[in-house]
């Protein structure tokens, strides 16, 4: 059999249907290393310092307000019965959701052997880790006395009691912590060979010391790669189940309760789709900045951005379906409380939040049907920011609009966030982008080793075709 025709079915396909090359122009291994690894060794440009100063100032504002909250008590927030969950849980769900794109790209697309994932997996995984860090802050400060948060873990204690494992909030503790630990491990494993490359490149003794420790003495022998690849694949498979479970568990916090508008079986898939949706929007925003400022246009190509925009479009359609399905379920329930809650979503006190959600999440992403807009920076940034805003408001609608008018009309209450609430939300954006900026200077933003293995012609020919 002629191996060429088998290995390249693209040759018999029309140009428009062929998978585009993963890099713009040929890239050699040494060039790749130079392009990806050298920014880590150089002094950052001035613009970086300005950006860093700005984001860390915003972060400090948030940290200060968190300190004020802890010292004073969470009475400084707008939460009050019946809206016991306000900005804190909205922001928690929002940030956890953002993290999901990273695991999807690094784990699920690895299983699907989507080669375009290799250029963006490192930064997407980094966003996952930073987003979970922002997310976990909120339940921690919402408990009021965060120094006692360790009570959530089942350890033998003199009180002789255990946490309630039947509570979805406990499931959340385990799901989010597992997710963070596994994401960090996965990220680190991907970094190990890159640390080895950095160790061998660097001229500075101090850097060499740290890279040597971080690379754990990785030497790239065939027998090591053999175990490494297998472990990576197995963890990717497990992480796939994990990423689907984490936002499902987050949705159980709502779905397991009896609040009208929350008690719905569609919540787990609906939350997972929304999480991937918001996460991809954030990845697009960050990658556009990274590829232009770090001159990585040939490695993170317009094709990458276009594919991600297609996923955003798909998720927007899924979200539209979910909203319709939710509304239909509400109508079909013949339950006057659920009817009332759904009328509140679009025509209540917070009607504007409901319509912002629908506009930003379903209407605006439809722009991406146009190929020219999928490949244009202003258009994709506009859509990504709209999706980020829309997904935040979606959680606002789910939490505040559902809670503020519950079963007991005498308890109804209009929720108003305070400035402290808004400042802490802003502060987590500061924290997130500060971490992103640090990441972009301290670690290689592209998994150079992974990229090498998928560059054209880098895998040996074998009987039956190339192994790319």
Partner 1 sequence: MNREVFSVLGIFDSAQQLMDAIPAVKGKVPGKLEAYTPYPIHGIDKALELRKSPIAGMVLVMGFIGAISAMVFELWTEAVDYPMMTAGKPFWSWEAFVPIMFEAMVLFACFTGGLGMLFLLNRLPMFRHPMLSSRSMPLVTRDKFALAVETEGQRVDVDGISRLLQSVGARSIEVVEQMPATGPASPQFLFRFTVGVMVACLAAGYLTYWVIKLYPRAIPMVHMLDQPRLDPQREDSFFRDGAGMRMPAAGTVARGYMPYLIQSENEADLLPNPLPRTEEVLKKGRLTFNTYCSVCHGILGDGKPTLTAAYGAKPANLVSESIRDYADGRLYHVITMGKNAMTSYAADVGREERWTVVHYVRVLQRALNARDEDIPEEARK
Q: Which of residues 12-31 bind partner 1 (CB under 8 A)?
A: 28-30
CB closer to partner 1, 85 vs 232: 232
Residue from the set 4, 18, 230, 295 that interacts with partner 1 by CB under 8 A: 230
For residue 127, give the nearest of 101, 149, 150, 146 by alpha carbon. Answer: 101
CB closer to partner 1, 150 vs 332: 150
Q: Does 189 bind partner 1 (CB under 8 A)?
A: yes
The alpha-helical segments, DSSP class H, found in 78-159 are: 87-103, 109-111, 117-142
Binding mask 55-94 for partner 1 (x = CB under 8 A): ----------------------------------------
CB closer to partner 1, 44 vs 168: 168
Q: Does 6 bind partner 1 (CB under 8 A)?
A: no
Query: And the tokens for 23?
Result: 């890099």
Three-state SS at 291: helix
Orientation of helix 302-332 relative to helix 117-142, angle to 10° = 50
Q: Does 465 bind partner 1 (CB under 8 A)?
A: no
Residue from the set 130, 218, 262, 342 that interacts with partner 1 by CB under 8 A: 218
Round to whole Å and give the CA distance between 326 and 332.
Answer: 10
Three-state SS at 465: strand
Q: Does 231 bind partner 1 (CB under 8 A)?
A: yes
* Cβ neighbours around 434 below 10 Å, total: 21
Q: Does 226 bind partner 1 (CB under 8 A)?
A: yes
Residue from the set 49, 151, 153, 209 that interacts with partner 1 by CB under 8 A: 209
What residues contact 426, with CB distance under 8 A and at least 6 apart?
58, 61, 62
Q: Does 423 bind partner 1 (CB under 8 A)?
A: no
Per-residue exposure over 355-374, b if at least 16 CB sit within 10 Å of its own CB, e if not: bbbbebbbebbebbeeeeeb
For 237, the enclosing helix (H) or strand (E) is: helix 222-255
Q: How far is the CB of 93 from partner 1 (least distance, A)?
A: 17
Residue from the set 6, 185, 327, 442 that interacts with partner 1 by CB under 8 A: 185
- For the four alpha carbons of 458, 183, 282 and 97, in that order, the dihedral sign comes to positive
Q: Does 192 bind partner 1 (CB under 8 A)?
A: yes
8 A C-beta contact, residue 323 and residue 299: no
Binding mask 117-156 for partner 1 (x = CB under 8 A): ----------------------------x-x------x--
Residue from the set 21, 44, 220, 423 that interacts with partner 1 by CB under 8 A: 220
Q: Does 334 bind partner 1 (CB under 8 A)?
A: no
Residue from the set 213, 324, 370, 419 that interacts with partner 1 by CB under 8 A: 213
Round to whole Å and give the CA distance between 264 and 416.
Answer: 26
CB closer to partner 1, 33 vs 406: 33
Q: What are phi and psi of 113, to 5 degrees?
A: 55, 40
* Cβ neighbours around 67 below 10 Å, total: 11
Q: Does 216 bind partner 1 (CB under 8 A)?
A: yes
CB closer to partner 1, 168 vs 320: 168
Residue from the set 26, 45, 64, 241 that interacts with partner 1 by CB under 8 A: 241
Residue from the set 51, 239, 278, 362 that interacts with partner 1 by CB under 8 A: 239
Q: How far is the CB of 189 from partner 1 (least distance, A)?
A: 5
Three-state SS at 83: strand
With CB under 8 A as the rule, give the number of residues binding partner 1.
Answer: 73
């Amino acid at each position: 059999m002629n191996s060429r025709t088998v290995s390249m079915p693209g040759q018999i396909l029309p140009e428009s249907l062929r998978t585009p090359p993963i890099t713009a122009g040929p890239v050699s291994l040494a060039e790749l290393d130079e392009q990806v690894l050298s920014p880590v060794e150089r002094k950052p440009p001035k613009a970086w310092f300005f950006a860093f100063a700005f984001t860390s100032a915003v972060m400090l504002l948030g940290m200060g307000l968190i300190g004020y909250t802890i010292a004073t008590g969470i009475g400084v927030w707008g939460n009050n019965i019946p809206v016991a969950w306000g900005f804190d849980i909205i922001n928690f769900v929002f940030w956890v959701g953002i993290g999901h794109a990273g695991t999807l790209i690094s784990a699920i697309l690895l299983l699907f052997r989507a080669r375009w994932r290799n250029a963006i997996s490192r930064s997407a995984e980094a966003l996952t880790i930073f987003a979970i860090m922002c997310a976990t802050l909120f339940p921690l400060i919402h408990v009021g006395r965060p120094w006692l948060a360790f009570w959530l873990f089942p350890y033998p204690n003199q009180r002789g009691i255990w946490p309630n494992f039947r509570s979805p909030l406990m499931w959340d503790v385990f799901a989010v912590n597992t997710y963070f630990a596994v994401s960090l491990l996965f990220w680190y494993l991907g970094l190990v060979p890159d640390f080895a490359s950095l160790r061998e490149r660097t001229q500075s003794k101090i850097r060499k010391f740290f890279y040597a420790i971080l690379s754990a003495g990785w030497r790239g022998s065939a027998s090591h790669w053999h175990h490494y690849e297998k472990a990576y694949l197995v963890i990717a498979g497990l992480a796939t189940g994990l990423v689907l479970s984490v936002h499902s568990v987050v949705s159980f916090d709502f779905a397991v309760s009896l609040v009208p508008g929350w008690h719905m079986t569609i919540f787990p898939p609906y939350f997972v789709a929304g999480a991937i949706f918001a996460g991809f929007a954030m990845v697009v925003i960050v990658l556009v900045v990274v590829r232009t400022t770090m001159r990585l246009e040939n490695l993170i190509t317009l094709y990458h951005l276009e594919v991600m925009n297609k996923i955003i479009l798909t998720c927007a359609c899924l979200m539209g379906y979910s909203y319709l399905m939710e509304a239909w379920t509400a109508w079909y329930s013949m339950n006057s409380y659920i009817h009332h809650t759904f009328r509140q979503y679009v025509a209540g006190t917070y009607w504007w939040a409901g319509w912002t959600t629908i506009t930003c999440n379903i209407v605006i992403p439809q722009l991406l049907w146009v190929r020219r807009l999928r490949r244009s920076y202003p258009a994709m940034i506009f859509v990504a920011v709209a999706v980020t805003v829309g997904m935040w408001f979606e959680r606002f609608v789910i939490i505040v609009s559902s809670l503020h008018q519950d079963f007991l009309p005498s308890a109804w209450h209009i929720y108003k966030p305070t400035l402290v609430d808004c400042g802490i939300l802003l502060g987590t954006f500061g924290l997130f982008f500060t971490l992103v900026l640090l990441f972009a200077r301290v670690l290689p933003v592209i998994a150079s080793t992974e990229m090498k293995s998928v560059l054209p012609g880098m895998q040996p020919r074998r009987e039956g075709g190339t192994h790319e």
